[in-house]
Amino acid sequence: MGIDNGSQSTKVSIFDVNGKEVAFGSCKLQDNLTPEPGIVIHPDDDLWDSVRGGIKDCLANFNGNTDDIIGIGLCTIRFCRALLQKDGTLAHPIISWMDVRMNSPYKHEDHNVAYVTSTTGYISNRLTGEFTDAASMLEAGWPLDLEKLEWSSEEEVFKTHGLTRDMVFDVVKPGELLGKLKPELAHEFKLPKGLPVVASANDKAVEVLGSGVNKETSVMISLGTFISAMLYRENPYQGPTPTSFWQTLACVPHKYVYESNGIRRGMWTVSWLKSILGNGLTEDAAKLKMSEEDYLNMNALYVPAGSAGLITILDWLATPSEPFRKGIMIGFDQRHTKFHMYRSIIEAIGFEIKNNVCAMADEVGIKLDEIIVIGGGSKSELLMQILADQFNLPIIRREGNSCGALGAAICAAIYTKIYDNFDEAASKMIRTERTFKPDITKHELYDKINNEVVKNVRIHTNEVLKKSYPIFS
């Protein structure tokens, strides 16, 4: 079983040892709360509720014998902070990666807080009762020795992060044991007693493992709430400080991932559009017995490439360094419909991530020949084809509902000794569903739009938004 706890939902899959997904379930998270500007929290006990609900949904769809399940791999949202009481319960709501507090060291302001941990540490504790965390979740904002994947031995390093050693959980590497499933949860889920719960890494690194990116000229694009692209590397980056990417820990211990600049609230923007279109969209889709996104995709096929001049700039969540930026749609005229708006948003996703990927490839000094796209957005045939046309490269979609869940399951396969190493497990368990081929005519049009329009919009709009920001912030 692989658990992929993301920003919008928890996805849970059960795989056979050859990587075939035999059951899938999911459970949506509630919307984040923003009680004041810059503060973004998960309401109630939402993360645990979604993990628990996802497991139950997956098992309800499993037709096999639960006694045959031999391990659980756990993958959760990165860059969040869980503040826990002595018994492991939440002292405060979990702080989202979108919260401004995550840009600063922890400040100990509440004596009820006994532990500070990641989402993996928190969910691991709920599943097993152990106070363990995944080392490869903890490279940013934590006193971790990145070479050893262990806590720093220096007290001063802990102090710079606002922490002491007794405030953090013990850490384990990907493919190692977090703990055994609690007896009461084994009874509730009807799973074997003593089922091992196994560590993975940060969610993006786990997706890299589960997508099968393992060569220098391959890149993985993750189409989730945060959209970015990753290269897998054997060795740490040795060049000058990069501007188009940053280095993170891979899900294979002591290996690395280079991650491009990303799009904040990327696929969330599609959810935003659906919400403002309202009941009419829901009713129209229901008449055809389709999901809202399938309905939008079907109709957006009839919108020409370039969305008849409607250009979207994806700044629905500004960065702390440029808080004035806002989402933009420009170029409206009488031709445009809700389907133009939808296509313009997904074309904008393509433009932005293509520019980020190309900047990273240029800085690293490689020529890409393979793009693997994962995440919820990869289910859109239209978006996958747009990406193929924009990059002018084949776009590969893997089998299964979640590469994060598969990557987590691969970690469980390593712990249970189904496979001897990560490369062997990945080669046996990862499958390709479809490859999308580019259309050169559309590629040439997209290149023209990108180079002459998209890349130049912010040059002009930033100055206007700097003036409006203090009025409306």
| Range 62-89 average pLDDT | 97
Torsion angle, alpha carbons of 213, 173, 201, 405, to 10: 80
Q: How confident is the model at residue 216 (pLDDT cuts 50, 70, 90)?
A: confident
Which token pair is 221? 């694009």
Residues 6+ apart with CB under 8 A from 385: 395, 436, 439
Using the predicted structure, report yes or no on whether residue 434 has a pLDDT greater than 90.
yes
- Phi, psi (5° rounding) for residue 323? -65, -15
Mean pLDDT over the full length of the chain:
95
Closest by Cα among 14, 75, 20, 22 to 431:
20
DSSP class of residue 455 equals: H
Using the predicted structure, report yes or no on whether residue 117 has a pLDDT greater than 90.
yes
Q: Which pLDDT value is given to residue 83?
A: 98
Q: How confident is the model at residue 139 (pLDDT cuts 50, 70, 90)?
A: confident
Using the predicted structure, report yes or no on whether residue 225 has a pLDDT greater than 90.
no
Longest dimension (CA), the chain: 65
Q: Which pLDDT value is given to residue 459?
A: 95
Whole-model pTM: value is 0.87
Using the predicted structure, report yes or no on whether residue 320 has a pLDDT greater than 90.
no
Q: Which pLDDT value is given to residue 37?
A: 87
Surface-to-core class of residue 333, CB atoms within 10 Å of its CB (0-12 exposed, 13-18 middle, 19+ buried): exposed
| Range 354-372 average pLDDT | 95
Q: Rounded to an integer, what distance in angstroms lies between the CA atom of residue 333 and that of residue 398? A: 39
Using the predicted structure, report yes or no on whether residue 349 has a pLDDT greater than 90.
yes
For the chain, state the CA radius of gyration.
22
Q: Which pLDDT value is given to residue 121?
A: 98
Using the predicted structure, report yes or no on whether residue 70 has a pLDDT greater than 90.
yes
Report the Cα–Cα distance between both ends of the chain, in Å, rounded: 45
Q: Which pLDDT value is given to residue 52?
A: 98
| Range 456-465 average pLDDT | 96
Using the predicted structure, report yes or no on whether residue 282 has a pLDDT greater than 90.
yes
- Phi, psi (5° rounding) for residue 342? -65, -50
Closest by Cα among 347, 412, 377 to 267:
377
**Which tens digits make up the pLDDT trace of 233-255?**
999 999 899 999 999 999 999 99
Which CATH number, 3.30.450.70, 2.60.120.460, 3.40.50.300, 3.30.420.40, labels domain 2-203? Answer: 3.30.420.40
Strand partners, 6: none
Q: Which pLDDT value is given to residue 407?
A: 97
Closest by Cα among 227, 250, 273 to 376:
227
Helix (H) or strand (E) holding 198: strand 196-202
Quote the percentage of the chain above a pLDDT of 70.
100
Q: CA angle 420-421-426, nearest 5°?
A: 115
Strand partners, 202: 76
| Range 265-287 average pLDDT | 93
Q: Which pLDDT value is given to residue 310?
A: 98
Q: Rounded to an integer, what distance in angstroms lies between the CA atom of residue 314 and that of residue 225? A: 12
| Range 324-334 average pLDDT | 96
| Range 102-111 average pLDDT | 95
**Which tens digits make up the pLDDT trace of 4-20?**
998 889 999 999 999 99
Q: How confident is the model at residue 39 (pLDDT cuts 50, 70, 90)?
A: very high
| Range 70-74 average pLDDT | 98
Higher-confidence residue of 224 and 75: namely 75
